[in-house]
Structure 1
Amino acid sequence: MKKTIGIFAGMLLGMSSMAQSITIEGDLAGDLKGHNKMYLYSRTYQDSADINNGHYTFKIPYKDPMFLMLLPQYIQAERQMYVPFGVLFDKPVTYTITSDISKGMNASVVKGSEAAELLLAYGKEKSEVYGKISKALQSEFGTPWMEETDPKYAAFEKRQSALQQQYLLPLLQTLVKQHPNSYAAVYSLNDARDIATIAQQEQLFASLSKEMKATKEAQEFHQFGEGLRNSAIGKQVKDFSLPDPEGKPVKFSDLKGKYVLIDFWASWCGPCRKSFPHMREVYQQYKDKNLVFYSISIDKSKPDWLKAVAQENNPWLQSLDDKNIAGSGFAITGVPTTYLIGPDGKIMMKEVGFDESGNGEIEKKLAALLGGTVKSASKAIEKPTAAQTTKAIPMAPLQ
């Protein structure tokens, strides 16, 4: 009998751990003019709740930490400017979110976990820092933002990076040093990918607690440093194997001896999907030459990837990056990003974003190497403009 009770108790404990959930209790003050819905979303998640007398509730199954965005229907309906507002849900507890529609969602007060509160506080400090950086750039260049086609862009970008090192990096380093065992520190490491040196990234990772170092997101950040070394022009690509839509392995070394165009993309990436019609034109031009097209998706959701693959029906190799090759092998910070690999397996070129004019540098290189012509993605355009060059969408550790 005791054994039976023990087994039953064990089953109940197992069921309770499997049934963990997050509860969000929200209060939104102000006149919503009848637009009484709150949307909760990420790149791979969508939900909504009714707002009754200024109150709304979400109940979400919990498996791993999530970073989810909140958007009141009122903002969409009234066509107000929306500054994205997200909350880190790092444990299965009840979170309270108190907001006022007249002050904007970013003025919300969030309670429930220390990590959620820390990340919001860090976000507000970052906003102040970005204000300082913009003011400095405005003073030096006459503008806080500049098109890549501007002759001064190289100097502008260099100065911007220096200012980020001066103001933003110390903020991140302080957060990680003071809260090494917080998921807020792990999530914020994503900021370092563009502003910190490899040595600084390694020091940030080393500052984390043993528990936080073991998280998937921290491991992927650590691998990113390895990717920076591995993805330099002229580097030999380390062999890797990823599954195709049928689950069969695609081994990179099997492609050696040919030029390989690796396209990193995602189902949720609009510019990636927009680039495919022109990529199909380029593919048709070179499909009988010594060139292999290979699309690698960074999707976290396999069903979403498979659905997009079926919709696009691209006639070349497809794989899902289930081993973080994007980070450890190529240091991808946004999609679309394209690499051209030589027949010897060495990296020749890298292109971030999508040039819809058809005048991308890799496309020009293919024409020179394989005797083709650069094809415009639509009508003939002599010179690409900033409006025709689409920047990559940044990746996030929590999708």
Structure 2
Amino acid sequence: MIRTLSLLTLITFALFSCSPEEKGNVSIEGKIDNAPNQTQIYLFHVSQSTQAVDTADFNEDGTFKMIYDVDKPGYYRLGFNKANNYASLILQPNDKITVNGTSGNLEGYAQVKGSKDAEDLQEMLQLQMSYYTKADSLKRAMQYAQQNKDPNSYREALGVLQNSRSQMMESMKTFIKNHKGSIANLAAIEQLRPNQNFELYKQVRDDLSEKMEGVYIYDRFAQRVEGIEKTSVGSKAPELAFPNPEGETVKLSSLRGEYVLIDFWASWCKPCRAENPNVVRMYNKYKDKGFEIYGVSLDKKRNAWLQAIQQDNIEWVQVSDLKGWQSEAAGIYSVSSIPATFLLNPEGEIIAKNLRGRELENKLQEIFES
């Protein structure tokens, strides 16, 4: 189950305010139409401890102005005390930004001017919005076709949706290449899978290292890239040591000498559960020939984890720190979607990644039956 981790979704609502006259090096002003019930607009800083950092009162005509002090480049949101009603911004010291838009329709549609990076971000968001608008329409068509038992129309809409998704990803690649060094690329790269676009991931990291090092969102991204490098094919698999259902710590290295499949999954992940019967079959077929599995659950609820183990007839090693997506194991292996797998040789080196279904079966057959 894909869990895409976006840089623009980290936000809380601990609100702080200051007067527009407060000293600062960044000014944000503009006009928001159709906001009759809103008396203030908020500036949220997207960071590890995300919070609202400033407010401004609306004038009667919907105009506003705030002055805020920025010491490092960063991602911000300008909007109301409601989710999904904001304009995404990139702010840097001494920026003078203007934001004009309509209440309730800010994300991707607000007009943002004043700095190249801020304008780059709006360009990227507009590309995304074009895809999302089309995708929503196609998903409704698929739902309608399914309800009316029209498989031909369903397949047609699905094909168009998949093609649109491919076009959007290509547009993100082009955007990144055409905006080398732009802070907006930190948001654009999140639309691309690292396994297929790792060279581009490294390019974004390297292009922004001088400008953004020490900024939370960049440092987190750079750590993710470093983690992917450490778990690339040919690398020594990083050690894992987590508790099993009995509370005993089991080390990955305890399985050294066997071919080991590290399997990241969760009880709530439908694709994971659908794949489990195939993994059970492969395990039973090759466990006596030197094949082991080290299952890592991203569950938070112990009972759900244990119930899924029983329901799916899982007999191999299972561990979890029950931290969900905050799992330390997922961080070590830079896992951002599940199911995710890493196949290790007896020396503990990664020889393949994300094998499932027929691909996993073929690889194990190659190892144990050739």
Structure 2 length-normalised TM: 0.52
Q: Is the 8 A contact 1:39 1:46 kept in 2?
A: no
Structure-2 residue corresponding to 1:170:
170
Q: Deviations over 1:262-291 (max 9, x none)?
A: 579xxxxxxx999526436649989xx954
Tell me the distance in 1 between the aligned counterparts of 2:299 and 2:201: 36
Q: Deviations over 1:355-383 (max 9, x none)?
A: xxxxxxxxxxxxxxxxxxxxxxxxxxxxx
Q: Deviations over 1:281-306 (max 9, x none)?
A: 649989xx95432346766xxxxxxx
Tell me the distance in 2 between the aligned counterparts of 1:151 and 1:236: 45
1:292 and 2:319 are equivalent in the alignment: yes
Q: Shift of residue 45 of structure 1?
A: 0.9
- AA paired with 1:109? Q
- AA paired with 1:46? Q
Structure-2 residue corresponding to 1:306:
none
Structure-2 residue corresponding to 1:127:
129
Q: Shift of residue 57 of structure 1?
A: 2.2
Pick one of 57, 66, 72 that aligns with 2:66.
Answer: 57
Q: What does 1:1-399 correspond to in 2, within 5 Å?
A: 23-30=26-33, 32-33=35-36, 35-41=38-44, 42=46, 44-47=49-52, 48-53=54-59, 54=62, 55-57=64-66, 59=68, 61-63=70-72, 65-73=73-81, 76=82, 82-89=84-91, 91-101=92-102, 104-106=105-107, 107-132=109-134, 137=138, 142-143=141-142, 160-165=161-166, 167-193=167-193, 198=196, 200-203=197-200, 205-206=202-203, 210-212=206-208, 216=219, 219=222, 222-223=225-226, 226=229, 238-240=237-239, 252-253=251-252, 256=255, 275-276=300-301, 278-279=303-304, 282=307, 291-295=318-322, 319=328, 324-327=331-334, 330=335, 332-333=336-337, 337=338
From the superposition, tell whether residues 68 and 277 of structure 1 become closer, same or farther in structure 2 (CA, over 3 Å): farther
Q: Shift of residue 225 of structure 1?
A: 6.1
Output the aligned Cα RMSD. 5.4
Tell me the distance in 1 between the aligned counterparts of 2:242 and 2:320: 15
Tell me the distance in 1 between the aligned counterparts of 2:170 and 2:317: 48
- AA paired with 2:199? E
> Tell me, what secondary structure is at the counterpart of 2:125?
helix
Tell me the distance in 2 between the aligned counterparts of 1:263 and 1:71: 36
> Tell me, what secondary structure is at the counterpart of 1:143?
helix
Q: Is the 8 A contact 2:172 2:189 kept in 1?
A: yes
Tell me the distance in 2 between the aligned counterparts of 1:297 and 1:277: 11
Tell me the distance in 2 between the aligned counterparts of 1:177 and 1:349: 27
Q: Deviations over 1:127-164 (max 9, x none)?
A: 224445566x47xx9338999xx999899767634432
Tell me the distance in 2 between the aligned counterparts of 1:23 and 1:273: 41
Tell me the distance in 2 between the aligned counterparts of 1:243 and 1:114: 46
Unaligned 5+ runs, structure 1: 1-19, 245-249, 265-271, 300-317, 351-399
From the superposition, tell whether residues 348 and 115 of structure 1 become closer, same or farther in structure 2 (CA, over 3 Å): closer
Structure 1 length-normalised TM: 0.49
Structure-2 residue corresponding to 1:386:
none
Structure-2 residue corresponding to 1:393:
none
Q: Shift of residue 114 of structure 1?
A: 0.8
Q: Deviations over 1:220-258 (max 9, x none)?
A: 56557658855xxxx9981236999xxxxx995356489
Q: Deviations over 1:12-51 (max 9, x none)?
A: xxxxxxxx97635233344644531223334741215141
Q: Is the 8 A contact 2:261 2:343 kept in 1?
A: yes
Q: Is the 8 A contact 1:37 1:50 kept in 2?
A: yes
From the superposition, tell whether residues 158 and 59 of structure 1 become closer, same or farther in structure 2 (CA, over 3 Å): same
> Tell me, what secondary structure is at the counterpart of 1:211?
helix
> Tell me, what secondary structure is at the counterpart of 1:239?
coil
Q: Is the 8 A contact 1:261 1:292 kept in 2?
A: no
From the superposition, tell whether residues 122 and 146 of structure 1 become closer, same or farther in structure 2 (CA, over 3 Å): farther
Q: Is the 8 A contact 2:27 2:97 kept in 1?
A: yes
> Tell me, what secondary structure is at the counterpart of 1:105?
coil
Tell me the distance in 1 between the aligned counterparts of 2:55 and 2:65: 6
Tell me the distance in 2 between the aligned counterparts of 1:348 and 1:295: 26
Unaligned 5+ runs, structure 2: 1-22, 213-218, 244-248, 267-296, 355-370
Q: Shift of residue 260 of structure 1?
A: 7.9
Tell me the distance in 2 between the aligned counterparts of 1:227 and 1:159: 37
Q: Shift of residue 191 of structure 1?
A: 1.1
